[in-house]
Chains A and B, each alone.
Chain A
Amino acid sequence: MTRSSTGRGGSVFRRVLSEAVGALLFPVLAILISFAIGAAIILATGRNPIAAYSALITGAFGSPAAIGRTLVNATPLIFTGLAVAVAFRAGLFNIGGEGQFYIGAITAAWLGVSLGFLGPIALPITLVACIITGFLWGAIPGALKAYFGAHEVITTIMLNFIAINLTVYLALNPLRGSGLVPGTENVAAAARIPVLGFGLGRANLGIFVAILAAVVAYLILWRTKRGFQIRAVGLSPGAANYAGIPIGRNTVLALAIGGAFAGLGGGVEVMGVYGKMAVPFVANVGFNGIGVALLGRNHPFGVVLGALVFGGLFSGAQEMQFQTDVPLSLTVVLLAVILLLVTATRLVELIFGKRARILASGTRPEKGLGQ
């Protein structure tokens, strides 16, 4: 997946296939195991796991409306997942997806209204603006890290509080709308992202923007000089410095590019799903983006798949609760087990042996101690 073809058709196909299988094997296994554990829990509470899971799956993918809900859930998670994944490739933990998402959302809520007179042309302008504000907001922790040594985990968490409270203040005060639901004014209808139709409900073209964003993230990381630099810095700062690759600049850019994806996500959410920034606004997309990136092994295409898993579980859970009385919170358990298995590679080793762990983590286990 991560490599282009050489001239040798057959071996390339085999390589791509074996890489894809290696990459997918563990997330899939993790999901299956988590479902098995979930089944035990459902049984223990005296309910029927088969009924519960069939309701879950029906609720996630069983009808156009269900698929629509899953897509609506997955779209913002793709963006925030990319925000985490891109930064991670530079060796940085971006916990700030939530704040970056909110910054993009308020940008869209503002421009979607004030540029509304432009009609459909307002949409691309607004989304580009979301990319820019997200980029700048993401650059802040990057610069703090690169030039002042402040750890990005701390600063991105702190900036989340600032971003959330700032945007909520803006949405309730200078940008407050006249509607019943507290929040901003509705953006111009002509500037909204069109819905998909086909009975998919609120699902809109935003999902394609998200997939496009994943492709762009892939191209940036593996087909540009910038991406080469970011990955070199992430894997070995020493070797990057040796090769004359500036570490500071790439730290700033990796977090900023991540922020741009999250910011665009916020914009797509406003312009696609809600038409405004309501207060309270969607919560936890930034944090779930971390889980999505982990499940997707910090690969843009993995992020898309991971977001669909998360989105499907969220929408299916409602149906499950409605039909079988198994509580929504079971999905939290399922997600927790999935993430535990995907991240705790040593646990995988314990269960499946060392070879499996090498496959799971994509790297070799540390050899011995010291040296």
Chain B
Amino acid sequence: MVEARARDNGPGAKAPKVLEMTGVTKTFGPVTANDDVSLVLHRGEILGLLGENGAGKSTLMKILYGLYKPDSGTIYVDGEEVQIRDPKDAVRRGIGMVHQHFTLIPPLTVAENIVLGAEPRKGGALDLNRAMRETEVLSERYGLKVDPRARVADLSVGVQQRVEILKALYRDARILILDEPTAVLTPQETEDLYRTLQELVADGLSIILITHKLGELLGVSDNITIIRDGRVVDTVKTSETEEGSLARLMVGREVLLRVEKGENEVGTPRLVAQGLVVLSSTGATAVHGVDIEVRAGEILGVAGVDGNGQVELAEALAGTRLVHKGRVYLDGEDVTGLGADERQERGLAYVPEDRSHKGLVQDFSLWENNALKTYDEPPFSGRFGRIFPKVMRRRAAQNLKAYDVRPSEPDARAGALSGGNQQKAILARELSGNPKAIIAAQPTRGVDVGAIEFIHRQLLEQREEGKAILLISLELEEVRSLSDRIVVMYDGRIVGEVGPDATDEELGLLMAGRGSGVGER
């Protein structure tokens, strides 16, 4: 079916424009998020919108979906100038959006979620049967297989995404915006999604695909519009470009897509988990008896699709979540019964996956954040429970400089920094204490390419200094390029171990739980 559509001639000049944005400018205070941005979408086209985090992609799409009001610029839908004041306007114009974070209500069924807000009624009451029927019709028409009666909470992430797409289609969307749709999918689920998208455009829909992953766009899009610093730098035909030049356009300079790593000398086990069972916040078992051993001087990568117990594993190792069963050892010492503070004092660093709600107190200054774990240790504290802000500020100033955090002013509010700089500030705090073992959970999530390079280099430096590093990441490329060994987590279990040279195929099968010895879900 994919082949049914000739890739190379795509919708050219002949296909009518369904959407045009011209001269769109949007500022937030002193920050210009979109500067005179213009973009064209043709009928039946998949347009990739490529840019780094913070380049302005999401802002532009939020303007299109009526969530933001542009300072200036015009939007044409089907050649007609339109004002989109809110998402309702957007829906009325046939624009649908699939957000990165789903907007489904988990306890409701698929059909209920799809019709929510536009329910078919019978005598004033919700006509659930019709909702079911219509869902079935839609799902058949577009080959998006879902069970209308299933509870959304019971569905896998890939299927939930299908429900989101159906939700937009139910509202007669002709233009579909997908915001980073592959962030939560396995490579195989990604393939499925792309097949679906092909069918949708074959049916006359037009799609805008927002992403910061270059590779993915090459396989699926017709054209790619690249945004950098709020401006459109270029729009290219996908068939006439390749990864390297896209990266250059996106970042504005040559980038090392892969960091070089030297030989390592592996030492004794530093961070060890035995038979670890951890419960999630809802009380379900999130980690089912995991054994892990990270040795000095190595990076152990944990690959897997989001939500397969990685967060709980990291938290249990770090001591911020209770260990239900099993033991955790740090440098040979049983630390299972110790809290996060005591483990940190024994040399465990933890870069959490969520910097805004865990890694930093957004409304604390940088110096307070720098002392977030060490405020109760000398030289930052003394007798009678006192703390010494002066000493904290001085130490923070050193750390911020050493890790190139901008601004390096210790009095700046943490929340005012960009994502990359926030992450560097966390790294500065965690690594400056000369830890023995480091848990790095998605250390580069949502940071720009420049910061990624910096963070990767820091982690490799720590490895060379003989630290034991556990790297948990959703980005396969990151896991592969940094790790010495890779384990894959699926459904709370380690389902396999591979080397850094494992193929996408191998990893993908493991990530989907289809490796050897693992049953189907």
Interface residues of A (CB under 8 A from B): 3-6, 15, 222-228, 231-232, 235-236, 238-246, 354-355, 363-364, 367-371
Known A-B contacts A238-B357, A368-B62; the reply to A224 vs B387 at CB < 8 A is yes
Q: Is the beta-carbon distance between A367 and B28 smaller than 8 angstroms?
A: yes
Q: Is the beta-carbon distance between A244 and B339 smaller than 8 angstroms?
A: yes
Q: Is the beta-carbon distance between A232 and B389 smaller than 8 angstroms?
A: no
Interface positions of B from 345 to 373, Cβ below 8 Å from A: 350, 352, 354, 357-364, 368, 371-373
Q: Is the beta-carbon distance between B320 and A222 smaller than 8 angstroms?
A: no
Known A-B contacts A228-B375, A244-B340; the reply to A370 vs B352 at CB < 8 A is no
Please give, as numbers and ranges, the residues of chain A lying within 8 Å of B454 by CB-CB distance: none
Report Cα–Cα, A240/B340, bound state, in Å.
10
Q: How far is the CB of B392 from chain A (nearest CB, A)?
A: 9
Q: Is the beta-carbon distance between A225 and B385 smaller than 8 angstroms?
A: yes
- Which chain B residue has the least Cβ–Cβ distance from A245? B341
Q: Is the beta-carbon distance between B357 and A370 smaller than 8 angstroms?
A: no
Please give, as numbers and ranges, the residues of chain B lying within 8 Å of A6 by CB-CB distance: 390, 393-394
Q: Is B76 an interface residue (CB 8 A)?
A: no
Interface positions of B from 324 to 347, Cβ below 8 Å from A: 339-344
Q: Is the beta-carbon distance between A242 and B359 smaller than 8 angstroms?
A: yes
Report Cα–Cα, A367/B100, bound state, in Å.
17
Q: Is the beta-carbon distance between B28 and A235 smaller than 8 angstroms?
A: no
Known A-B contacts: A228-B387, A239-B358. Give 4 more (CB < 8 A).
A3-B411, A225-B386, A232-B364, A239-B359
Q: Is B415 an interface residue (CB 8 A)?
A: yes
Known A-B contacts A225-B376, A363-B363; the reply to A242 vs B101 at CB < 8 A is no
Q: Is B519 an interface residue (CB 8 A)?
A: no
Report Cα–Cα, A359/B21, bound state, in Å.
35
Please give, as numbers and ranges, the residues of chain B lying within 8 Å of A232 by CB-CB distance: 361, 364, 372
Query: Tally of A-B residue pairs with Cβ under 8 A?
Result: 96
Which of A225, A238, A241, A246 is the one whose CB lies under 8 Å from B375?
A: A225
- Which chain B residue has the least Cβ–Cβ distance from A4? B389
Please give, as numbers and ranges, the residues of chain A lying within 8 Å of B373 by CB-CB distance: 243-244
A243, A246, A354, A371 interface centre (most CB from chain B within 10 Å)? A243
Q: Is the beta-carbon distance between B340 and A242 smaller than 8 angstroms?
A: yes
Please give, as numbers and ranges, the residues of chain A lying within 8 Å of B318 by CB-CB distance: 242
A228, A231, A369 interface centre (most CB from chain B within 10 Å)? A228
- Which chain B residue has the least Cβ–Cβ distance from A231? B364
Report Cα–Cα, A225/B371, bound state, in Å.
11
Please give, as numbers and ranges, the residues of chain B lying within 8 Å of A369 by CB-CB distance: 62, 67
Q: Is the beta-carbon distance between B390 and A4 smaller than 8 angstroms?
A: yes
Q: Is B83 an interface residue (CB 8 A)?
A: no
List 5 A-B pairs, minimum CB-CB distance, nearest first: A244-B341, A244-B340, A238-B357, A242-B358, A236-B361
Q: Is B517 an interface residue (CB 8 A)?
A: no
Please give, as numbers and ranges, the residues of chain A lying within 8 Å of B58 by CB-CB distance: 371
Report Cα–Cα, A323/B319, bound state, in Å.
67
Q: How far is the CB of A92 from chain B (nearest CB, A)?
A: 16
Report Cα–Cα, A247/B16, bound state, in Å.
59
Q: Is the beta-carbon distance between A364 and B415 smaller than 8 angstroms?
A: yes
Please give, as numbers and ranges, the residues of chain A lying within 8 Å of B371 by CB-CB distance: 228
Report Cα–Cα, A231/B101, bound state, in Å.
30
Please give, as numbers and ranges, the residues of chain B lying within 8 Å of A227 by CB-CB distance: 387
Q: Is the beta-carbon distance between A370 and B387 smaller than 8 angstroms?
A: no
Please give, as numbers and ranges, the residues of chain A lying within 8 Å of B389 by CB-CB distance: 3-4, 222-223
Q: Is the beta-carbon distance between A371 and B101 smaller than 8 angstroms?
A: yes
Q: How far is the CB of B495 from chain A (nearest CB, A)?
A: 28
Q: How far is the CB of A15 from chain B (nearest CB, A)?
A: 7
Q: How far is the CB of A331 from chain B (nearest CB, A)?
A: 34
Q: Is the beta-carbon distance between B344 and A244 smaller than 8 angstroms?
A: yes
Report Cα–Cα, A236/B318, bound state, in Å.
18
Q: Is the beta-carbon distance between B352 and A242 smaller than 8 angstroms?
A: yes
Report Cα–Cα, A6/B354, bound state, in Å.
32
Please give, as numbers and ranges, the residues of chain A lying within 8 Å of B100 by CB-CB distance: 371
Please give, as numbers and ranges, the residues of chain B lying within 8 Å of A246 by CB-CB distance: 339
- Which chain B residue has the least Cβ–Cβ distance from A224? B385
Known A-B contacts A225-B375, A238-B357; the reply to A244 vs B342 at CB < 8 A is yes
Interface positions of B from 173 to 224, Cβ below 8 Å from A: none
Please give, as numbers and ranges, the residues of chain A lying within 8 Å of B62 by CB-CB distance: 368-369
Known A-B contacts A3-B389, A232-B361; the reply to A225 vs B344 at CB < 8 A is no
Report Cα–Cα, A154/B341, bound state, in Å.
33
Q: Is the beta-carbon distance between A236 and B357 smaller than 8 angstroms?
A: yes
Please give, as numbers and ranges, the residues of chain A lying within 8 Å of B376 by CB-CB distance: 225
- Which chain A residue has the least Cβ–Cβ distance from B340? A244
Please give, as numbers and ranges, the residues of chain B lying within 8 Å of A242 by CB-CB distance: 318, 320, 340, 350, 352, 358-359
Q: Is B68 an interface residue (CB 8 A)?
A: yes
Please give, as numbers and ranges, the residues of chain B lying within 8 Å of A354 by CB-CB distance: 29
Please give, as numbers and ranges, the residues of chain B lying within 8 Å of A364 by CB-CB distance: 415-416
Q: How far is the CB of B447 from chain A (nearest CB, A)?
A: 15
Report Cα–Cα, A165/B336, bound state, in Å.
48
- Which chain A residue has the least Cβ–Cβ distance from B381? A225
- Which chain B residue has the least Cβ–Cβ distance from A228? B375
Q: How far is the CB of A317 from chain B (nearest CB, A)?
A: 37
Report Cα–Cα, A232/B361, bound state, in Å.
7
- Which chain A residue has the least Cβ–Cβ distance from B338? A244
A–B pairs, 10, beta carbons within 8 Å: A228-B371, A228-B375, A236-B360, A239-B359, A242-B318, A242-B359, A364-B415, A370-B67, A371-B100, A371-B101
Please give, as numbers and ranges, the residues of chain A lying within 8 Å of B358 by CB-CB distance: 238-239, 241-242
Q: Is the beta-carbon distance between B319 and A244 smaller than 8 angstroms?
A: yes
Report Cα–Cα, A238/B416, bound state, in Å.
18
- Which chain A residue has the least Cβ–Cβ distance from B415? A364
Q: How far is the CB of A361 from chain B (nearest CB, A)?
A: 11
Q: Is B99 an interface residue (CB 8 A)?
A: yes
Please give, as numbers and ranges, the residues of chain B lying within 8 Å of A243 by CB-CB distance: 340-341, 372-373
Q: Is the beta-carbon distance between B387 and A223 smaller than 8 angstroms?
A: yes
Known A-B contacts A238-B354, A242-B340; the reply to A368 vs B415 at CB < 8 A is no
- Which chain B residue has the least Cβ–Cβ distance from A242? B358
Please give, as numbers and ranges, the residues of chain B lying within 8 Å of A371 by CB-CB distance: 58, 100-101
Please give, as numbers and ranges, the residues of chain A lying within 8 Å of B385 by CB-CB distance: 224-226
Please give, as numbers and ranges, the residues of chain B lying within 8 Å of A241 by CB-CB distance: 320, 340, 358
Please give, as numbers and ranges, the residues of chain B lying within 8 Å of A236 by CB-CB distance: 357, 360-364
- Which chain A residue has the least Cβ–Cβ distance from B315? A242
Q: How far is the CB of B139 from chain A (nearest CB, A)?
A: 26
Q: Is the beta-carbon distance between A15 and B341 smaller than 8 angstroms?
A: no
B59, B358, B411 interface centre (most CB from chain A within 10 Å)? B358
- Which chain B residue has the least Cβ–Cβ distance from A236? B361
